[in-house]
Amino acid sequence: MAVATAPPARVAPRHSAREISRSRALNRFKWSIRAPLILLFSLVLTPVLLLQLYFSFHEWTVYLGSWWEAEFVGIDLFKEVLTDERFGWAIVRSLGFAMGSTIGCFVIGFALAYLMYEPFRGSAIYYIIFILPMLTVPIVVAYTAEMLLYQSGPVNDVISRLLGVDFKPAWLTDPKVAMPAVTLLEIWNWTPFSFIIMLAGLSSIPREPIEAAQILGASRWRIFWEVQLPLLRPVILLALVLRFLEAMAEFPKTWALFQGGPGSSTETIPVYIFLTTWQYFQISKGAALSYVAMILMVVIVLLAIQLLRREKRALDAMYSSKTEAAD
Amino acid sequence: MARIELCDLNKSFGSVRAVKDINITIEDGEFVVFVGPSGCGKTTTLRMIAGFEDPTSGEIRIDGRIVNDLEPRDRGLGMVFQSHALFPHKSIAQNIEFGLRMKDVPAPERIQRVREVAEMMHITHLLDKMPAQCSGGESQRVALARTLVTNPSTFLLDEPLSSLDAKLRRELRAECGRLQEELKRTFIFVTHDQEEAMTLADRIVVMRSGEIEQVGSPMDIYSEPISYFVADFFGSPSMNLVAGEVVGDTDVVRFRSTHFDFALPEHFKKSKRGAATFGIRPEHVGVAFGGKGEIELPVRLVEPLGKDTLLYFDDGTERAFIAVSEGLEMADVKSGARITLSFDPRRLYLFDADGRRIGAATQF
C-alpha cells in the first residue's frame, strides 16, 4: 500500500453548472425533509416545552386561580424535585426496569433469532407467532395479564399443577413481585422487537466467513462466539439502546395494572410524573419533574448516539472498500 | 493424502437438478480443475465435497471412507473462497491463526507456523494489518495462507481468482501452481475461466448443466474435444465453428455451408451424411495469397498483435471465421481482399446435429 503523502494544495475549485444545479437539488431535498419537522416542532413541541418551562418556575395547581397569574418561585421547584426521595426511587426503578426488560428481551429475542435465521420448513408460522406479542396493544397486554395473574388465577393454577406444589405468588398485590411482574410483561411484549433486529442482523452476516470458520475446524459455539457475535456487535448495541430508551418511557402497562402501587412499588418515572400532575394536581411540580426526566433522557440518548457512532465507524473501517487499499 | 471419489452424486434444489450423476475419482496429489459456464453445477459439486451442501443422492468418499455425514470440519479439507471470506474483525495474523486455535495447537507453535506460512506466501508485512487494509490480491494470499496453515489433505478452491484483475490473476495462478507442486497435495479448483483450467490442471473436468461433459488432460481437452460445447469453450480465440452439412457419395465426402464447400479428408469417408458443424482452430488455418487451399473468403478485419496477426473472415455468419498468421506478414491485408485458406486435415473437427464429435476415432 502506498503511503499517503500530503495532498497537493487544492486550487479553489470552479463550480460547473452541473455541480451547482446538483447542489441546489440536494439542498432542496434536504429542506423538504427538514421543513415539516421544524414546522411540527415549532407549532407543537415548542409551545408545550415553553409552557412547561413556565410552570416549572411558577407555583401553580389547578386550585389556584388562573395559571398566568401564578407566583414566580425561581428554582424552588427544581430544588424540591431533586431532593424528592420518591422521585429518586422512581429513577432507580425505571433504570432497573429498563435494564431488566432490555436484557430479557435481548437474550430471548437473540436466542429465537438464532434458531430461526436458517430457513426451515414452517419457519414462517413461527415467525408470525414470535411477532404477535409486539402487535398486541400494551393496554390489552395489561388487562389480559390482570385476568391471568390474580392469585388464584389460571397462570398460578397451571404452574401449580405442572410443579405439583402450590405456586401462589401474588403477582398483582405483593409489592416485592409487582415490579418483576411488569418487567416480565414488558419482556413478553417487546421480545419480538429484539428478535426482528437480531434476525435481520444474523441474516446480514455474509455466509463465507462462517463457512470458512466451519471448514477451519470451528464448532458451532466457537463460530457463534468468534465470528457471528463480533460481527453483530453494532446490531446488538442498536437493539439494546432502542429497547432501553423505549423501556424508560413505559407507561401503559405499569399504569393500567398498578397505578404505582401496591404502595409505591411500581412508581417509575412516567408513573410518578403522571401521579403528581393528574392525581395530586401539582401541575408545576409535574412540569419540573418532566424537565428533569427529559434532561436525564437527553443525556442517555446522547451517550447512546455516541456509542452507536463509534460502532458505525468501526464497522465502516472493517468493510471499507478494498479498491481504496489496492493502489 | 487424499483420494476423493464421487459416486453417482446428485443434487437437486427443489425441482432444479443442479448436479446429475457425477462419477469421478480424484487421485492423491492431483490438480483437478472443474470448469464450465455459470450454473453448470461445478461450485455445487465443490460445496458437496466440502460438506456445505448435502448430496440428494450418491456418495462422497475421501480415502475410501464415506464422508456424507461428516461435518465440514471433520473432513480434513481446506477451502479458499471467491470472496476471500477473511474475518473482517480479526487481524491478518489472527485470521491465519484461527484454524490452529480451533485445533487447540499451543500458542508458541501457532506463532511459529503462522510465521512460516506468512513467509511462504510473502505476506509477513501484512500480519498486523486488518483485512480491510489489504488489497484484493493480498487478501487472497492471506486466504490461501489461512488454509495452508491447517495443513489440509486437499485444497478446495472456489473461483479464487475471479475477483482479481488480470495481472493479479496471472500472478496468483502461478502461485497456486507453485504451491501444489511444493505441497504435493490434492487440489480441486473451480473456475469458469478456460485459461486457468488449461494452465493449472493435471486433469480438467468440463461440466455442463449439471453433468460431466468431458474429463481429460488439458491437451486432450484442447485437441480432442468430444463435443461442440467443449470445442467452443476452450481456446482463445475460440474454435471456428461453421454450420452446414456433410454431403457426397461413398467416394467423395464434402462439407457444404452457405459460403463455401470443400472436400473433407479421407477419414471422414464413412461419416454420416447430413447436418453437421465443421470446426477448426484459428492456428490450424493456413493463409496464403492465391495459394492452394480449400476455400477462399473475403477479409473483414485484420488485427496485428505483434507476435501474430489475427485475420477475421466473412463466412456468412455473425461469428467471424478467424485465422492466425505468425508475425506481421499479413498485417497489411486490406479488408475485402479474398484470401485462400487451407485446413490442416488432422486438425479438422466435425460435430453432428446434437453437438457430438463425428469421426474422432480415426483421427490419428
Q: In this structure, what CATH number is given to the domain that contains residue B236?
A: 2.40.50.140
With a cut of 90, say whether residue A107 has pLDDT above it: yes
pLDDT-derived band at A12, boundaries 50, 70, 90: low
Identify whether A60 is part of a domain: no
Which residues in chain A have Cβ-Cβ distances shorter than 8 Å to B137? 326
- CB within 8 Å: B98 and A216: yes
Identify whether A308 is part of a domain: no
Write the CATH number for B72. 3.40.50.300
**CB-based contacts of A251: which residues, under 8 Å, 6+ apart?**
A268, A270, A271, A274
What is the rounded distance in angstroms from the CA atom of residue B29 to the CA atom of residue B316? 48
Supply B321's cell numbers.
471465421
| pLDDT recorded at residue A324 | 41
Sheet holding B57-62, edge to edge: B16-26, B4-13, B57-62, B65-66
By the 8 A CB rule, do B134 and B28 touch? no
What residue in B sits closest to A321 (Cα-Cα)?
A: B132
- CB within 8 Å: A217 and B71: no
Percent of chain A with pLDDT over 70: 93
| pLDDT recorded at residue A193 | 95
Supply A313's cell numbers.
465507524
Which residues in chain B have Cβ-Cβ distances shorter than 8 Å to A212? 79, 81, 85-87, 143, 146
- Three-class DSSP category at B224: coil
- CB within 8 Å: B85 and A212: yes
- CB within 8 Å: B132 and A212: no
Percent of chain A with pLDDT over 90: 47
| Domains identified in chain A, total number | 1
The nearest CA of chain B is from the CA of A206 a distance in Å of 8
Question: pLDDT tens, B122-148?
Answer: 899 999 999 988 888 899 899 999 999
| Domains identified in chain B, total number | 2
Which residues in chain B have Cβ-Cβ distances shorter than 8 Å to A230? 89
pLDDT-derived band at B1, boundaries 50, 70, 90: low
From the list B51, B84, B136, which residue is nearest A326 (CB)?
B136
Statement to judge: residues B68 and B207 lie in one domain: yes
Identify whether A243 is part of a domain: yes
Question: ipTM of this complex > 0.90?
Answer: no
Question: pLDDT tens, A174-202?
Answer: 888 899 999 999 999 999 999 999 999 99
Statement to judge: residues B44 and B111 lie in one domain: yes
Give mean pLDDT, residues A140-152.
88
Q: Which of B198, B228, B258 is the last residue of a domain?
A: B228
Which residues in chain A have Cβ-Cβ distances shorter than 8 Å to B132? 317-320, 322, 325
Statement to judge: residues B243 and B169 lie in one domain: no
| pLDDT recorded at residue A2 | 46
More confidently predicted of B288 and B98: B98
Residue ranges of chain A whose CB lies within 8 Å of a chain B CB: 1, 206, 208-209, 211-219, 222, 226-227, 230-231, 317-320, 322, 325-327
Identify whether B364 is part of a domain: no
CA angle A292, A297, A298 (to 5 degrees): 95
By the 8 A CB rule, do B190 and B42 touch? yes
| pLDDT recorded at residue A315 | 77
State the residue for C-alpha cell 488485427.
Answer: B303
With a cut of 50, say whether residue B50 has pLDDT above it: yes
User: What ranges in chain B are assigned the alpha helix state H?
Assistant: 42-50, 92-102, 107-120, 136-148, 166-183, 194-200, 218-223, 228-233
Supply A99's cell numbers.
435494564
Supply B23's cell numbers.
462419477
| pLDDT recorded at residue B290 | 64
| pLDDT recorded at residue B167 | 84
| pLDDT recorded at residue B155 | 92
- CB within 8 Å: A215 and B77: yes
What residue in A sits closest to B148 (Cα-Cα)?
A: A216
Cβ–Cβ pairs < 8 A, chains A and B: 89
SS3 per-residue string spanning A4-16: CCCCCCCCCCCCC
Name the nearest CA neighbour of A193 among A239, A125, A236. Answer: A239
Average pLDDT, chain B: 87
Inform me whether the C-beta atom of residue B72 falls under 8 Å from chain A C-beta atoms: yes
The nearest CA of chain B is from the CA of A241 a distance in Å of 22
Supply B157's cell numbers.
478452491
Write the CATH number for A251. 1.10.3720.10
What is the rounded distance in angstroms from the CA atom of residue A227 to the CA atom of residue B89? 8
Statement to judge: residues B299 and B178 lie in one domain: no
CA-to-CA separations, A127 to A122, A139, A193, A204, B230, in angstroms, rounded: 9, 23, 12, 17, 48
Question: pLDDT tens, A81-102?
Answer: 889 899 999 999 999 999 999 9
Q: Which of B228, B253, B271 is the last residue of a domain?
A: B228
By the 8 A CB rule, do A56 and A284 touch? yes
With a cut of 70, say whether residue A322 has pLDDT above it: no
Statement to judge: residues B13 and B76 lie in one domain: yes
- CB within 8 Å: A318 and B89: yes
Identify whether B134 is part of a domain: yes
Which residues in chain B have Cβ-Cβ distances shorter than 8 Å to A319? 88, 132
Statement to judge: residues B182 and B239 lie in one domain: no
Strand partners, B296: B340
What residue in A sits closest to B130 (Cα-Cα)?
A: A318
- CB within 8 Å: A215 and B83: no
Q: Which helix (H) or strand (E) holds B162?
A: none
Inform me whether the C-beta atom of residue B133 falls under 8 Å from chain A C-beta atoms: yes
Identify whether B308 is part of a domain: yes
Average pLDDT, chain A: 87
Which residues in chain B have Cβ-Cβ distances shorter than 8 Å to A209? 85-88
Statement to judge: residues B139 and B162 lie in one domain: yes
Q: How far does Cα B213 stand from its chain's mean position?
A: 12
Identify whether B60 is part of a domain: yes
Give mean pLDDT, residues B28-35.
92
Statement to judge: residues B239 and B224 lie in one domain: no
Supply B295's cell numbers.
476455400
What residue in A sits closest to B158 (Cα-Cα)?
A: A208
Q: Which of the 8 DSSP states describes residue B347?
A: G
The nearest CA of chain A is from the CA of B314 a distance in Å of 42
Give mean pLDDT, residues A236-245.
91
The nearest CA of chain B is from the CA of A218 a distance in Å of 5
With a cut of 60, say whether residue A7 has pLDDT above it: no
| pLDDT recorded at residue A320 | 62
pLDDT-derived band at B287, boundaries 50, 70, 90: confident
Identify whether B71 is part of a domain: yes
Q: Which of residues 150-189 of B touch A (CB under 8 A)?
A: 150
Identify whether B193 is part of a domain: yes
Identify whether A215 is part of a domain: yes
With a cut of 60, say whether residue A241 has pLDDT above it: yes
Statement to judge: residues B221 and B249 lie in one domain: no
- CB within 8 Å: B79 and A211: yes
- CB within 8 Å: A231 and B88: yes
The nearest CA of chain A is from the CA of B103 a distance in Å of 7
With a cut of 70, say whether residue A5 has pLDDT above it: no
Question: pLDDT tens, B165-195?
Answer: 888 888 888 888 888 888 888 999 999 988 8
Statement to judge: residues B152 and B255 lie in one domain: no
Identify whether A177 is part of a domain: yes
Question: pLDDT tens, A156-168?
Answer: 889 888 988 888 8
| pLDDT recorded at residue A325 | 40
* Interface mutation target, options B44, B48, B53, B89, chain A, most CBs of A under 10 Å: B89
Inform me whether the C-beta atom of residue B13 falls under 8 Å from chain A C-beta atoms: no
From the list A208, A209, A218, which residue is nearest B102 (CB)?
A218
- CB within 8 Å: A215 and B50: yes
Domain that holds residue B165: 4-228
- Whether the upstream peptide bond of residue B37 has omega within 30° of 0, thus cis, is no
Domain that holds residue A208: 85-281
Statement to judge: residues B159 and B192 lie in one domain: yes
Inform me whether the C-beta atom of residue B85 falls under 8 Å from chain A C-beta atoms: yes
Q: Concatenate the DSSP letters of all residues of A143-204 into one string.
A: HHHHHHHSTTSHHHHHHHHHHSS-----TTT-HHHHHHHHHHHHHHHHHHHHHHHHHHHHHH
| pLDDT recorded at residue B364 | 40
- CB within 8 Å: A212 and B146: yes
The nearest CA of chain B is from the CA of A216 a distance in Å of 5
Statement to judge: residues B221 and B193 lie in one domain: yes
Identify whether A184 is part of a domain: yes
With a cut of 50, say whether residue A244 has pLDDT above it: yes
With a cut of 60, say whether residue A323 has pLDDT above it: no
Identify whether B363 is part of a domain: no
Name the nearest CA neighbour of B205 among B40, B36, B53. Answer: B36
CA-to-CA separations, A167 to A146, A149, A158, B149, B280, in angstroms, rounded: 17, 12, 9, 58, 88
Give mean pLDDT, residues B220-227.
91
The nearest CA of chain A is from the CA of B233 a distance in Å of 29
pLDDT-derived band at A77, boundaries 50, 70, 90: confident
- CB within 8 Å: B51 and A215: yes
- CB within 8 Å: A231 and B89: yes
CA dihedral sign, ordered A113, A117, A118, A122: positive
Q: Which of B164, B197, B228 is the last residue of a domain?
A: B228
| pLDDT recorded at residue A103 | 96
The nearest CA of chain A is from the CA of B75 a distance in Å of 8
Question: pLDDT tens, B231-284?
Answer: 999 988 889 888 888 888 777 888 888 878 888 887 787 778 888 898 999 988
What is the rounded distance in angstroms from the CA atom of residue A219 to the CA atom of residue A227? 11
With a cut of 60, say whether residue B344 has pLDDT above it: yes
CA angle A206, A207, A208 (to 5 degrees): 100
Give mean pLDDT, residues A300-310.
90
By the 8 A CB rule, do B280 and B322 touch? no
From the list A226, A231, A325, which residue is nearest B133 (CB)?
A325
Give mean pLDDT, residues A275-295.
90
